């Protein structure tokens, strides 16, 4: 297929209305244990997905350091968890998709339950049931997968060489029935016998007709010699457009016109302040992005040439750099309207958002923000400034890395201004806590902010 180059100017197509968007409301937040590295990284929490029961109850599913956890969104109840493989992966990558009453999980790790994990969700909220793992005799690990629910077919990456095509006609007994060969692959999305593929280090994107599972045919292709890492790809509901992310600093999220697969053209671009986007998903005229340090961003794409950010939630308020921190995954296909977001730092956020009204709302900054705590590390006393823009209720807590509450420093209403708090390294009972890493949590009526603090000897 013909290759197409980017010919448009960055300054004309990049529409980033970050400062004009509305913050989302926090419905609830849960913390999951991760691995704290001496470099300051916390890894372990990866992708999130969701499932709606036949009774209309929404559940969040999140990948963690030890496996997957299953959470009822309405009351944030931790219903159950499943141990998964955990060896040989710094980031503990897990990818999750659902079909009927089943969750399917792949990971880049070996160990317990390695392979394509199959989980029966019909027992929720009491529990989940592990059916088993489907293992290809020549490949166990996988970075990413997609399920074409219309055809009961899963597309599972086989390393970087392509995508296995797996029948889910019997959901508990998958069967390989085909393969899409790609020189380099990172993500796949499949719907109605069409597969969209992001080709990783090649910087390319391809579209495949997979109506004949034993003979996939490439029907569309784009390449850009100036592209970053072709990370993920997601089509609009009608399939006439698709969006891509490149997971490379300063590379934009792009909207492509695919009304003619033989002539795919660039329509628009977007980038949030941190300048590093992870994944994009589309629902109607809105794109939902896990945008690392900028958090969750929601972009109105009704005008494809002028995408406009209309809402955001900052999962990493301490910075807006282009590092691998903050929001990893986002999921918005819930019946209740909840939006799930996972972050590197071990958190699952369940968010709510008012109906999007583009171009009418004025920016509304967060009411309270954490200042720079000092000294950090500390030995005797940690000083904690909190800036309050308007009067309101704030709560300041100390948690351990498992998310357990150790000490509450305040929980009351304050007047506007900067307020100074301190922590002496003791828990609520007055016992001196050991040296180590702790979490400082600031909670207001509209947001939750967290920051690592280190207690020395």
Domain C-terminal end among 310, 325, 352 = 352
Q: Report pLDDT for 165.
A: 97
Does 323 share its domain with 409? no
Query: Which residue from 3, 1, 13, 15 is spatially nearest to 299, judged by alpha carbons?
Result: 15
Q: Report pLDDT for 357.
A: 37
The torsion angles phi and psi of 269, rounded to 5 degrees, stand at -140, 160
CA 288, 258, 189: angle at the middle one, nearest 5? 50
Does residue 357 form part of some domain?
A: no
For residue 149, what are the CA distances in angstroms to 135, 146, 312, 372? 21, 9, 29, 48
Find the CATH number of the domain harbouring 420: 2.60.40.1930
Domain C-terminal end among 327, 352, 377 = 352
Does 92 share its domain with 144? yes
Does 128 share its domain with 165? yes
| 241-245/253-257 β-pairing | antiparallel
Does 391 share its domain with 331? no
Does residue 169 form part of some domain?
A: yes
Query: Which residue from 391, 298, 293, 279 is spatially nearest to 337, judged by alpha carbons?
Result: 298
Q: Please give the Cα distance from 345 to 448 (Å, whole number).
A: 13
Return the half-sphere exposure (C-beta side, CA atoms, 13 A cut-off) of residue 53. Answer: 20
Does 348 share its domain with 383? no
Does residue 150 form part of some domain?
A: yes
HEC secondary structure over the chain:
CCCCCCCCCHHHHECCCHHHCEECEEEEEEECCCEECCCCCEECCCCEEEEECCCCCEEEEEECCCEEEEEECCCCEEEEEEECCCECCCCCCEEEEEECCEEEEEECCECCCCCEEEEECCCCCCCCEEEEEECECCECCCCCEEEECCCCEEEEECCCCEEEEEECCCCCCCEEEEEEECCCCCEEEEECCEEEEECECCCEEEEEECCCCCCCEEEEEEECCCCCCECEEEECCCCCEEEEECCCCCCCEEEEECCCCCCCEEEEEECCCCCCCCEEEEECCEEEEECECCCEEEEECCCCCCCEEEEEECCCCCCCCCCCCCEEEEECCCCCCCEEEEECCCEEEEEECCCCCCCCCCCCCCCEEECCCECCCECCCEEEEEEECCCEEEEEEEECCCCCEEEEEEEEEECCEEEEEEECCECCCCCECCCEEEEEEEECCCCEEEEEEEECC
Whether the upstream peptide bond of residue 149 has omega within 30° of 0, thus cis, is no
Does residue 196 form part of some domain?
A: yes
Does residue 252 form part of some domain?
A: yes
Does 329 share its domain with 385? no
For residue 447, what are the CA distances in angstroms to 29, 328, 341? 10, 18, 13
Does residue 359 form part of some domain?
A: no
| 308-313/22-23 β-pairing | parallel
pLDDT tens by residue, 393-438 = 899 999 887 677 899 999 999 999 999 999 999 999 999 999 988 8
Q: Report pLDDT for 233.
A: 98
Whether the upstream peptide bond of residue 384 has omega within 30° of 0, thus cis, is no
Does residue 236 form part of some domain?
A: yes
User: What torsion do the CA atoms of 210, 214, 215, 220 make, to the nearest 10 degrees?
Assistant: 20
Residues 6+ apart with CB under 8 A from 138: none
Does 246 share its domain with 146? yes
Kindly tell me the burial class for residue 348, based on how many C-beta atoms sit within 10 Å of its own C-beta (0-12, 13-18, 19 or more).
buried
| 58-63/253-257 β-pairing | unpaired
Domain count within the chain: 2
Q: Report pLDDT for 241.
A: 98
In the block, residue with structure tokens 């750099």: 321
Find the CATH number of the domain harbouring 276: 2.130.10.10
One pLDDT digit (tens) per residue for the chain, 457 residues: 333 333 333 333 333 333 346 668 888 889 888 888 877 788 999 999 999 999 999 999 999 999 999 999 999 999 999 999 999 999 999 999 999 999 999 999 999 999 999 999 999 999 999 999 999 877 899 999 999 999 999 999 999 899 999 999 999 999 999 999 998 999 999 999 999 999 999 899 999 999 999 999 999 999 887 899 999 999 999 999 999 999 999 999 999 999 999 999 999 999 999 999 999 999 999 999 999 999 999 999 999 999 999 999 998 887 889 999 999 999 999 999 999 999 998 999 999 976 443 333 343 455 788 888 999 999 999 999 999 888 888 999 998 876 778 999 999 999 999 999 999 999 999 999 999 888 888 887 666 777 888 898 8
Does 279 share its domain with 390? no
Structural domain of residue 59, as residue ranges? 10-352
Does 75 share its domain with 165? yes
Does 416 share its domain with 269? no
Domain C-terminal end among 321, 352, 383 = 352
Round the average pLDDT of the chain to a whole number and report it. Answer: 89
Does 326 share its domain with 377? no
Does 294 share its domain with 410? no
Does residue 265 form part of some domain?
A: yes
């Amino acid at each position: 297929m013909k290759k197409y180059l980017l010919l448009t100017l960055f300054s004309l197509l990049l529409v980033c209305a970050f400062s004009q968007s509305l913050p989302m409301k926090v419905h609830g937040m849960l913390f999951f244990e991760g691995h704290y590295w001496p470099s300051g990284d916390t890894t372990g929490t990866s992708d999130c997905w969701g499932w709606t029961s036949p009774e209309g109850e929404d559940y969040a599913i999140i990948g963690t350091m030890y496996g997957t956890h299953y959470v009822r969104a309405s009351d944030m109840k931790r219903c159950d968890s499943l141990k998964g493989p955990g060896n040989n992966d710094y980031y503990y990558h897990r990818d999750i998709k659902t079909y009927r009453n089943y969750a399917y999980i792949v990971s880049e790790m070996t160990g317990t339950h390695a392979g394509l994990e199959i989980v029966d969700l019909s027992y929720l909220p009491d529990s989940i049931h592990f059916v088993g793992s489907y293992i290809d005799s020549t490949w166990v690990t996988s970075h990413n997968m997609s399920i074409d629910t219309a055809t009961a077919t899963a597309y599972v990456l086989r390393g970087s060489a392509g995508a296995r095509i797996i029948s889910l006609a019997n959901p508990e007994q998958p069967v390989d029935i085909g393969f899409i060969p790609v020189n380099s692959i990172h993500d796949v999305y499949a719907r109605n016998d069409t597969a969209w593929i992001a080709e990783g280090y090649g910087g390319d994107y391809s579209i495949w007709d997979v109506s004949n599972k034993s003979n996939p045919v490439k029907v569309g292709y784009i390449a850009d010699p100036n592209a970053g890492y072709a990370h993920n790809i997601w089509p609009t509901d009608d399939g006439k457009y698709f969006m891509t992310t490149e997971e490379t600093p300063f590379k934009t999220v792009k909207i492509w016109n695919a009304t003619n697969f033989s002539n795919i053209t660039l329509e628009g671009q977007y980038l949030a302040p941190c300048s590093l986007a992870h994944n994009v998903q589309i629902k109607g005229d809105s794109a939902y992005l896990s945008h690392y340090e900028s958090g969750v961003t929601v972009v109105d794409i009704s005008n494809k040439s002028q995408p406009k950010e209309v809402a955001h939630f900052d999962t990493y308020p301490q910075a807006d750099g282009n590092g691998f921190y903050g929001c990893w995954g986002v999921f918005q296909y819930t019946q209740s309207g909840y939006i799930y977001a996972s972050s590197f730092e071990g958190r699952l956020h369940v968010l709510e958002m008012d109906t999007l009204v583009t171009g009418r709302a004025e920016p509304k900054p967060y009411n309270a923000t954490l200042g720079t705590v000092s000294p950090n590390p500390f030995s005797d006393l940690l000083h904690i400034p909190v800036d309050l823009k308007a009067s309101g209720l704030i709560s300041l807590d100390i948690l351990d890395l498992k998310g357990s509450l150790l000490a509450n420093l305040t929980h009351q209403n304050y007047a506007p201004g900067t307020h100074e708090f301190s922590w002496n390294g003791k828990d609520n009972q007055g016992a001196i806590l050991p040296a180590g890493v702790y979490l400082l949590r600031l909670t207001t009526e509209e947001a939750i902010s967290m920051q690592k603090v280190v207690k020395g000897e």
